Structure 1
Amino acid sequence: MTTTQVTQNQSSFFDVIKERRSVRAYDPAVKISREEMTEMLEEATLAPSSSNLQPWRFLVIDSPELKQKLLPIAFNQQQVVEASAVIAVLGDVKSYQKAEQIYGQAVEAGYMAADTATSFIERSVKTYSGLPSEVARQIVYTDGGLISMQLMLIARARGYDTVPMGGYNKAKFVEEFGISEQYESVMLIAIGKAAKPGHPTTRLPIGDVTFFNEMPTE
């Protein structure tokens, strides 16, 4: 790859970051195919996770009837029904149950020796199955946040818009959509094509939020 190509790729990446907005008005006529939605989710799963246990699970709500059902649960935010879909990002607190599958795939791909994988599996199952509930849920919240940001940037790179939503009745959502206690509801992400652009926003000066080697005393 030439220096010019590297520069162009970097420029494209930074454009995606700068162009991402939290969009709340969507064109309801725009649909995202199941195939493309699956591709975006697959790309998002390249995000890092604790011990590579990949605890994210996605409930994609694209049925008009179910979006209407979700609307009052999300405090009547119109993007729920106008967007192409709403993706519920969930965290599986028992993701260690897939350790054998995950590390087995690594062995098959030639990324890890079989005995190393066995050691990782045993250690992961022992560690994560014994965690206090609040610690396990904090881990899936962290990993859920990582993949959510990655998904939103992927959507922008493909020409779609998103808005992350933490303002919804999680207890009601879990009840109405049959989410078991094994899964923590991390956030909802509306995705589609903007009917109106998201509002530009400002950020604090980097000097106000970054400190090297020690925190300020006040």
Structure 2
Amino acid sequence: MNKQDVLDAFRFRHACKEFDPERRVSDEDFAYILETGRLSPSSFGFEPWKFVVLQNAELREKLLPVAWGGQKSIPTASHLVLLLSRTKDSFLPESEYIAHIMNDVRKVPAEALVGIRARYRTFLEEDFELLDNERAMFEWASRQTYIALGNMMTAAAMIGIDSCPIEGFRKANVEALLRDAGMLTGNEFGLSCMVAFGYRVREPREKTRRCVEEVVQWVF
């Protein structure tokens, strides 16, 4: 793998609006895609996400009336991932989830826990002023799921697999559907975005982007 290979993957990737329903991503390749999401960075290393792989055709069909941005990609995708983000109550410094991350996952020494929690609370209260706004807390967690989203789409492109990120949906309606199906329980998570994976049925138009001079500013 060299730099040109990586750039070629970025040029290959596009928002694939319709997939070839006869072609399936292999279990091995999809496990690789999910692993790049799992290994993605997050603020404070708190991993505020959950990836729900929705393969049930009936449930996908039920999504269509409330997911206008996935009318062709949802039913034809080899794999459809719903990215869930943590809500405020499950993401506070004293929450069970944060304790689990620090104690069981990261195995933070007991003497360091108080300082990390205090630093996290200061960040939420003062640095980003998130703590008094439930929606802002959710959106901050959602921004982190987009890091995992981008990594998964790039990883897929690097092995010739197409993807389509989907934000075109009615959030409350989709979440209600997920609750009815038992896929969303309690108040720990909300829906951040979706992403479909598969293989294109046609070649896309040439990728267009602003020139680098418009995008990048150097300060010396």
Normalized against structure 1, the TM-score is what?
0.80
- How big is each residue's C-alpha offset from its partner over 1:164-200, in whole Å with a ceiling of 9 and x where there is no partner? 1111121210111113543232211111111112322
What is the aligned partner in structure 2 of residue 184 from structure 1?
A: 190
Structure 1 residue 65 and structure 2 residue 58: aligned?
yes
What is the aligned partner in structure 1 of residue 80 from structure 2?
A: 86
Deviation of 1:45 after TM superposition, in Å, equals 2.1
Q: How many residues are paired up?
A: 203
1:14 to 7, 13, 30: 7
Q: Within 2, Cα distance between the matches of 1:114 and 1:19? A: 47
1:210 to 194, 210, 216: 216
Q: Within 2, Cα distance between the matches of 1:98 and 1:125? A: 15
CA contact (8 A) 2:36 2:148 kept: no
One-letter amino acid of the counterpart of residue 79, structure 1: S
Percent of aligned pairs with the same amino acid = 22
Structure 1 residue 23 and structure 2 residue 16: aligned?
yes
- Root mean square deviation of aligned Cα: 2.7
Q: 1:123 to 1:208 in 2, by over 3 A?
A: closer
State the SS of the aligned residue for 2:195. strand
Moved more, 204-213 or 82-91: 204-213
Q: 1:9 to 1:100 in 2, by over 3 A?
A: farther
For 1:61-210, what aligned pairs fall within 5 Å after superposition?
A: 61-75=54-68, 77-93=71-87, 94-96=90-92, 97-104=96-103, 105-107=105-107, 113-117=109-113, 119-121=115-117, 123-124=119-120, 130-178=131-179, 179=184, 181-210=187-216
Deviation of 1:149 after TM superposition, in Å, equals 0.6
Q: 1:199 to 1:114 in 2, by over 3 A?
A: farther
Moved more, 60-69 or 131-140: 131-140
Q: Within 1, Cα distance between the matches of 2:132 and 2:36? A: 29
CA contact (8 A) 1:71 1:77 kept: yes
CA contact (8 A) 1:23 1:196 kept: no
- How big is each residue's C-alpha offset from its partner over 1:117-147, in whole Å with a ceiling of 9 and x where there is no partner? 5532565478669452133112112102111
State the SS of the aligned residue for 1:86. strand
Normalized against structure 2, the TM-score is what?
0.79
Q: Within 2, Cα distance between the matches of 1:201 and 1:11? A: 16
State the SS of the aligned residue for 1:59. strand
Q: Within 2, Cα distance between the matches of 1:114 and 1:157? A: 41
Q: 1:53 to 1:155 in 2, by over 3 A?
A: same
Structure 1 residue 51 and structure 2 residue 47: aligned?
no
State the SS of the aligned residue for 1:177. helix
Deviation of 1:68 after TM superposition, in Å, equals 1.2
One-letter amino acid of the counterpart of residue 209, structure 2: R
CA contact (8 A) 2:11 2:207 kept: no
Q: 1:57 to 1:131 in 2, by over 3 A?
A: farther
Q: Within 2, Cα distance between the matches of 1:9 and 1:166? A: 32
Deviation of 1:113 after TM superposition, in Å, equals 4.6
One-letter amino acid of the counterpart of residue 26, structure 1: F
